[in-house]
Amino acid sequence: MIVLAFSAALMELIAGSAARPQEAAASSPDASPQEPAPGKVPRTMELLLDVELPVSISFGRTELPLKEVLKLTTGSIVELNRGVSEPVEILVNHCLIARGEVVVVDGNYGVRVLHIVSRQERLRSLR
């Protein structure tokens, strides 16, 4: 399970830009904003639920001179900067969000999420 969290400031901006002029005119100035029912997704959040983001799994990295890349053929081995037992990185939109381990389920590869990175770590991975 991957959990995405949005800051309160972002949610206020989304809610403010999504307000329709006729709805604003229909409500009285003294009316308090309606809270969504518990367990119900706010209407502004529903707009984001169908947004597709690229998800990739990083097994490791390496740098090769172009002449070495041109020598690669079927069966070539490229050494990565990560050991076999080390966790892989789960990237969403090129931003590190979690670490996990590679698993095989019914002959298919998958990743079991072991650790969701903190907000500070996500911000550091953007640099």
Q: Is the pLDDT of residue 110 over 50?
A: yes
For residue 16, give its domain range.
Answer: 8-125
108, part of any domain: yes
**CA-CA distances (angstroms) from residue 116 to 1, 11, 47, 60, 96?**
10, 22, 24, 18, 9
**CA-CA distances (angstroms) from residue 117 to 9, 16, 57, 58, 103?**
21, 29, 15, 15, 20
113, part of any domain: yes
Name the domain count of the chain.
1
Q: What pLDDT, on the 0 to 100 scale, is given for residue 4?
A: 58
Question: Which of residues 36 and 22 earns the better pLDDT score?
Answer: 36
Contacting residues for 64 by C-beta, under 8 A, at least 6 apart? 78
Note whether 43 and 18 are within 8 A (CB).
Answer: yes
57, part of any domain: yes
Instruction: Give the CATH number for residue 110.
Output: 2.30.330.10
Q: Over the stretch 51-84, which tens digit does the pLDDT of each residue have?
A: 889 999 998 899 999 999 999 999 999 998 888 8
99, part of any domain: yes
Note whether 62 and 78 are within 8 A (CB).
Answer: yes
Q: Which token pair is 23?
A: 């709805």
How many other C-beta atoms are found inside a 10 Å radius of the C-beta of residue 67?
7
1, part of any domain: no
Q: What pLDDT, on the 0 to 100 scale, is given for residue 39?
A: 63
22, part of any domain: yes
Contacting residues for 97 by C-beta, under 8 A, at least 6 apart? 2, 90, 91, 116, 117, 122
2, part of any domain: no
pTM: 0.56
92, part of any domain: yes
